[in-house]
Amino acid sequence: MKILGIESSCDETAAAVVEDGRRLLSNVINSQIDIHAVYGGVVPEVAARSHLEVVNPVINQALSDANLTWEDIDAIAVTYAPGLIGSLLIGTLAARTLAVLKNKPLYPIHHVESHVYSNFLNEHVPEFPMLALIVSGGHSQLMLFRDHGDYEMLGQTQDDAIGEAFDKVAKIIGLPYPGGPAIAKAALNSNPLAYHLPKAKLTGAYDFSFSGLKTAVLRAVQREVGVDLNFPSTGLAGLLSDSQRDNFAASFQRTAVETLVDKTLKAFRDFNPKSVVVAGGVAANLELRRELSERIPINIEYAPIGLCTDNAVMTATLGYFNSLKKQPVDPFELEVNPSLSMIE
Ligand code: KG4
Ligand code: ZN
Q: What is the pLDDT of residues 236-287, one digit of tens each?
A: 999 999 999 999 999 999 999 999 999 999 999 999 999 999 999 999 999 9
**Helical spans, DSSP H, in 2-120:** 33-37, 44-65, 85-101, 111-116
- The string of pLDDT tens digits covering residues 289-302 is 999 999 999 999 99
Q: Whose alpha carbon is nearest atom 23 of ligand 1? A: 180
Average pLDDT rounded to a whole number, residues 140-166 = 97
Q: What is the atom index within ligand 1 of the atom nearest the CA of 111?
A: 6
Q: What is the atom index within ligand 1 of the atom nearest the CA of 162?
A: 12
- pLDDT for residue 118: 98
- Rounded to the nearest angstrom, the distance between the alpha carbon of 102 and the centre of ligand 2 is 28
Q: Is the pLDDT of residue 91 over 80?
A: yes
Best mutation site among 116, 169, 257, 282 for ligand 1 pocket (most ligand atoms within 8 Å of CB)? 282
| Percent over 90 (pLDDT), the chain | 96
The answer to whether the CB of 288 is under 6 A from ligand 1 is no
Average pLDDT rounded to a whole number, residues 297-325 = 97
Average pLDDT rounded to a whole number, residues 94-120 = 98
DSSP string, 141-187: EEEEEEETTEEEEEEEBSSS-HHHHHHHHHHHHT-PSSHHHHHHHHH
**Could you tell me the strand order of the sheet in which 130-135 lies?**
150-156, 140-147, 130-135, 275-279
The H or E element that residue 136 is part of is none
Mean pLDDT of the chain, nearest integer: 97
Q: Whose alpha carbon is nearest atom 18 of ligand 1? A: 180
Buried b (16+ CB within 10 A) or exposed e, 120-151: bbeeeebeebbbbbbbbbbbbbbbbbeebeeb
List all residues 6 or more positions away from 280 whose beta carbon is below 8 Å from its beta carbon: 112, 115, 134, 135, 136, 137, 139, 163, 308
Best mutation site among 171, 261, 309, 340 for ligand 1 pocket (most ligand atoms within 8 Å of CB)? 309
Q: What is the atom index within ligand 1 of the atom nearest the CA of 179?
A: 14
* Banded model confidence at residue 41, pLDDT cuts 50, 70, 90: confident
> Phi and psi of 79, rounded to 5°?
-70, 120
- pLDDT for residue 132: 98
> Phi and psi of 211, rounded to 5°?
-65, -40
- Rounded to the nearest angstrom, the distance between the alpha carbon of 178 and the centre of ligand 1 is 7
- Rounded to the nearest angstrom, the distance between the alpha carbon of 285 and the centre of ligand 1 is 8
- pLDDT for residue 133: 98
- Rounded to the nearest angstrom, the distance between the alpha carbon of 326 and the centre of ligand 1 is 30
Average pLDDT rounded to a whole number, residues 222-238 = 96
> Phi and psi of 302, rounded to 5°?
-90, 150
CB atoms closer than 10 angstroms to residue 280: 28
- pLDDT for residue 104: 98
- Rounded to the nearest angstrom, the distance between the alpha carbon of 257 and the centre of ligand 1 is 13
In which region does residue 27 sit, left (phi positive, over 0), alpha (psi from -120 to 50) or beta (all else)?
A: beta
* Banded model confidence at residue 38, pLDDT cuts 50, 70, 90: confident
- Rounded to the nearest angstrom, the distance between the alpha carbon of 3 and the centre of ligand 2 is 20
Q: Is the pLDDT of residue 218 over 80?
A: yes
